[in-house]
Amino acid sequence: MLGRRGQLARELERACWPAGWQPQFAGRDRIDLAKPEQAGARVAGEYPGLVINAAAYTAVDQAESEPEIAMRINGQAPAAIARACAALHAPLVTVSTDYVFDGTKPVPYTEEDEVRPVSAYGRSKAEGEAGVRRANGCHLILRTSWVFSRFGANFVKTMLRLGAERDSLAVVADQRGKPTAASDLAQAIILASSTLMANRTVAGTYHVANEEATTWHDFAQEIFDGAKARGVRTAELRAITTAEYPTPARRPANSELATDKFSRIFSYRFRSWREPLSEVLDELLPSSAASRAS
Ligand SMILES: NC(=O)c1ccc[n+]([C@@H]2O[C@H](COP(=O)([O-])OP(=O)(O)OC[C@H]3O[C@@H](n4cnc5c(N)ncnc54)[C@H](OP(=O)(O)O)[C@@H]3O)[C@@H](O)[C@H]2O)c1
């Protein structure tokens, strides 16, 4: 398992034991994806039965000023690891992003849609996908979106922090996507990986995301409503446009992922992101959750 302290890596760690898995987690101190060929050689040296890549360069705006590093970690390293896995006949499961799309499609993106990234991060992830496919080994590429959890840095934690600090907060209301709990993504990865180990014909590219598309503004509103219900102070929310909130990286206006293919092949029903959001809020705001229960 590549990744140790990231949102997904931590949720995979939580999900693996109940599933009866005892994977080895390799942090960047053991396998540094910024050194792609060395990372490939290290993976090969472990003789793994299965590799799950939960590590990535995820700083979307920062990638604009250091695109080479993002490309090494997200583009070249997954390709090198995929070549190592192919030589060992070991399946590789790697995670990609909704930001491989340009966001101009008015309906949800399917796995068959052409990738056309509009940011350095998106280009690096698209290159990683292409490199994994070129290696021609058994693989799953799982694209996901708007990941949140109790761990690491994410939109939910940022909103809770800003809501406590400020009286009002402006959040963009014209970017649409599907918030996805790292916990649910981890469950989907374990299910898909187990199926792949038993039946390699399921290999390919899939979209994995919680149900119900929304905007960043409406996602923030639900976070604040949940926080308020737990007795926590929040700010007044104001809806703004992307043009009013310029960022170094361009983001797709619509990055809603259609997940029907994953549901059909792996017999999996995605729940709405609102359910795991409530669980994450209970974990992040435990004292208020306890007082509601009593
Ligand atoms: N976060 C999102 O909103 C989002 C959206 C769509 C897709 N995704 C994809 O979902 C996957 C999981 O993302 P996440 O949210 O769990 O990311 P995250 O919380 O930012 O964690 C990133 C992980 O990558 C590791 N990493 C970074 N640079 C590395 C390097 N040079 N060598 C080895 N490991 C390195 C980090 O290790 P350290 O612990 O050592 O820092 C960390 O474990 C990624 O593929 C990401 O692209 C995420």
Give the pLDDT score at 95: 98
- Which residue of 1, 14, 25, 28 sits with most ligand 1 atoms within 8 Å of its CB, as the best mutation to test the pocket? 28
Please state whether beta strands 214-215 and 139-144 pair in parallel, antiparallel, or not at all (unpaired): unpaired
Q: pLDDT tier at 48 (50, 70, 90 boundaries)?
A: confident
Residue 18 DSSP code: T
Q: For 15-40, how does the pLDDT look when each residue is reduced to its tens digit (9 = 90+)?
A: 988 888 888 899 999 999 999 999 99
Q: Tokens 């976070």 identify what position?
A: 223
Sign of CA dihedral 35, 41, 45, 50: positive
Q: Which residues line ligand 1 (CB under 6 A)?
A: 3-9, 27-28, 32-34, 54-58, 73, 95, 97-98, 125, 144-147, 152
CB 93 within 8 A of CB 189: yes
User: Which of 5-19, 190-204, 218-232 has the weakest average pLDDT?
Assistant: 5-19
Fold of 7-247+254-287: Rossmann fold (3.40.50)
Task: Give the nearest ligand 1 atom to 185 CA.
Answer: 10
Ligand 1: distance of its center to the CA of 65 in Å? 18
Task: Give the nearest ligand 1 atom to 153 CA.
Answer: 19
CA-nearest of 54, 51, 63 to 27 is: 54
Please state whether beta strands 180-181 and 214-215 pair in parallel, antiparallel, or not at all (unpaired): unpaired
CA-nearest of 102, 111, 103 to 133 is: 111
Catalytic residues: 121
Structure tokens at 175: 């970017």
pTM, full prediction: 0.96
